[in-house]
Amino acid sequence: MKIFMLGWEFPPFISGGLGTACFGLTRGLDRVGVDITFVLPRPIENADAEHVRILSPASATAGRRAEVPYATIASEFKHVTIRGVDAALDPYARPSDEPSTHQTERRVAESPAIPAQPAPVSVLGNSPGSHYGGDMFAEIERYATLATNLVSHETFDVVHAHDWMTYLAGIEIARESRRPLVVHVHSTEFDRSGFHVNQRIYDIERAGMHAARRIIAVSYLTRNIILRHYGVDPRKVDVVYNAIDDDLEEQSRTELPPIARDDKIVLFLGRITMQKGPEYFLAAAKRVLEVMDNVRFVMAGSGDLVRRMIELAAEMGIGHKVLFTGFLRGDDVRRVFQMADLYVMPSVSEPFGIAPLEALTHDVPVLISKQSGVAEVLTHALKVDFWDVDEMANKIVAVLRHPPLQATLREHGSIEVQRFSWQDAATRCLQVYQTACGSA
């Protein structure tokens, strides 16, 4: 089986769950012996410390730069070829009528002095406050053309496209190559927009789902949205849950020096955007602080609502108890997990939610929104409706006050999380591919 995969971010440049999932799944597929040509939009050139380069072993992309950071990652793959496409796409960007959710705020928070870099295609993320503008959809179409151009050198059985920005490319490649298209839905416009749906994005998602022979949804929650809002035949939608990287588990065992502290720490880690429910986290924090004093709330992540949340915490009079760290990666993520007594994911709409699995691998108990895919499969977790702020606070207080609760959650949770293997997810994907080919 050979797959032409239209994916996203690879380490170390991973800014969210989509990249984590694409990488984990690709590695799982590699291990079960599936050949993959992985098409990766080239990350935007900017002032980021890590100089991310695309490994492009095939001569088709000759002329690209030397590829240092990816080399180690790619060398462990036996069946994967990574092909870079020079397209400036950010999977977490929003169209021009909305502020860019991700890149912009990070620049503001971390490096306001960085001057804009000249960029050939798009200005995305290059200067504070920059937006996609009308370029977003043009860029998606350009990406589709570039990706399609790669196809002439390739033979494969299935085209696998991850999330809407790659769907147009997927449709085009499937049409030209006469191979079945599988679209993988990691999130929908309904999750991201809070039902203020952007019609153009919806149309692309819908076109991708209808053109696809099979659809992979990351949870039943997502499957239901696909069926309800996109008019898709339920028989062609499978659920494949996300998993957790084994390497991460090993990593987390290496001890970092302990951090001395008196206060309990409750952690929010994720993009600070509407979809992730940061304001519910703050509202719960306020309630917790009514009955407990020795607790701090850490909000780690970037996003379009960072400034609003800083203001909101101040308005609520709990500013001194809430810490904003900006976007964290690598050892900083491990460190913040190591400090945390509880990880909270109050998402308004979370198709899956890999971060709670990461927390569990770091021995941090989790409180997750019932409006998440991961809540379907995780039993050793506390669950709450994202809007039920009192109950969220009730559960936070319980974990902080009762060490046996924390210990039991941790003990069972760290065992349960080992059940989520990318190799199992890959095996399920392989079945989906086989079905897609079989029903041709």
User: Contact region for another protein (CB under 8 A) — 65-73, 112-120, 226-234, 287-295?
Assistant: 287-295
Q: Where are the beta strands (DSSP E) in 190-258?
A: 214-217, 237-239
As to burial, measured by CB atoms within 10 angstroms (0-12 exposed, 13-18 middle, 19+ buried), residue 330 is: exposed
Please report how close the Cβ of residue 319 comes to another protein at its closest, in angstroms: 23
User: Contact region for another protein (CB under 8 A) — 11-19, 28-36, 41-49, 403-411?
Assistant: 403-411
Q: Draw the binding track, 358-397, toward another protein (x: CB under 8 A; -: no contact).
A: ---------------------xx-xx------xx-xxx-x
Please report how close the Cβ of residue 401 comes to another protein at its closest, in angstroms: 8
| Binder among 21, 169, 215, 409 for another protein (CB under 8 A) | 409
User: Contact region for another protein (CB under 8 A) — 16-24, 253-261, 286-294, 302-310?
Assistant: 286-294
Cβ closer to another protein: 237 or 392?
392
User: Contact region for another protein (CB under 8 A) — 90-98, 248-256, 266-274, 407-415?
Assistant: 407-415
User: Contact region for another protein (CB under 8 A) — 7-15, 61-69, 348-356, 404-412?
Assistant: 404-412
Q: Which residue has the tokens 């991973």?
A: 14
Residues 252, 362 contacting (CB under 8 angstroms) = yes
Number of residues near another protein (by CB under 8 A): 23
Give the H or E element holding residue 72. helix 69-75
Largest Cα separation within the chain, whole Å, is 65
| Binder among 129, 401, 439, 440 for another protein (CB under 8 A) | 401
Please report how close the Cβ of residue 411 comes to another protein at its closest, in angstroms: 8
Rounded to whole angstroms, the Cα distance separating 11 from 326 reads 19
Residues 6, 156 contacting (CB under 8 angstroms) = no
User: Contact region for another protein (CB under 8 A) — 197-205, 231-239, 245-253, 401-409?
Assistant: 401-409
Q: Restricting to residues 145-174, which ones interact with another protein according to CB under 8 A?
A: none
Structure tokens at 197: 């749906």
Give the full edge-to-edge strand order of the sheet including 237-239.
80-85, 35-41, 2-6, 158-162, 181-185, 214-217, 237-239
Residue 79 touches another protein, criterion: CB under 8 A:
no
Residue 291 touches another protein, criterion: CB under 8 A:
yes
Residues 161, 183 contacting (CB under 8 angstroms) = yes
Cβ closer to another protein: 120 or 404?
404
**Helix %, strand %, coil % of the chain (to 5):** 45, 15, 40
Phi/psi for 322 (5° steps) reads -115, 130
Q: Restricting to residues 411-430, which ones interact with another protein according to CB under 8 A?
A: 411-412
Please report how close the Cβ of residue 391 comes to another protein at its closest, in angstroms: 7
Please report how close the Cβ of residue 291 comes to another protein at its closest, in angstroms: 6
List alpha helices for 178-316, DSSP H.
189-193, 199-211, 220-230, 246-253, 278-291, 306-315
Residues 273, 305 contacting (CB under 8 angstroms) = yes
Amino acid identity at 314: A
Residue 405 touches another protein, criterion: CB under 8 A:
yes
Please report how close the Cβ of residue 90 comes to another protein at its closest, in angstroms: 38
Residues 392, 409 contacting (CB under 8 angstroms) = no
Please report how close the Cβ of residue 287 comes to another protein at its closest, in angstroms: 7
Q: Which of 262, 261, 303 is nearest to 281 (CA)?
A: 303
Please report how close the Cβ of residue 19 comes to another protein at its closest, in angstroms: 31
Please report how close the Cβ of residue 385 comes to another protein at its closest, in angstroms: 12
Please report how close the Cβ of residue 394 comes to another protein at its closest, in angstroms: 4
Q: Which residue has the tokens 């990350």?
A: 43
| Binder among 1, 119, 197, 398 for another protein (CB under 8 A) | 398
Q: Which residue has the tokens 């059985």?
A: 157
Contacts of 366 (CB under 8 A, 6+ apart): 342, 343, 344, 345, 356, 359, 360, 378, 381, 382, 409, 413
Cβ closer to another protein: 247 or 390?
390
Cβ closer to another protein: 135 or 388?
388
| Binder among 117, 149, 408, 431 for another protein (CB under 8 A) | 408
Amino acid identity at 360: L
Q: Which residues bind another protein (CB under 8 A)?
A: 287, 290-291, 379-380, 382-383, 390-391, 393-395, 397-398, 401-402, 404-405, 407-409, 411-412
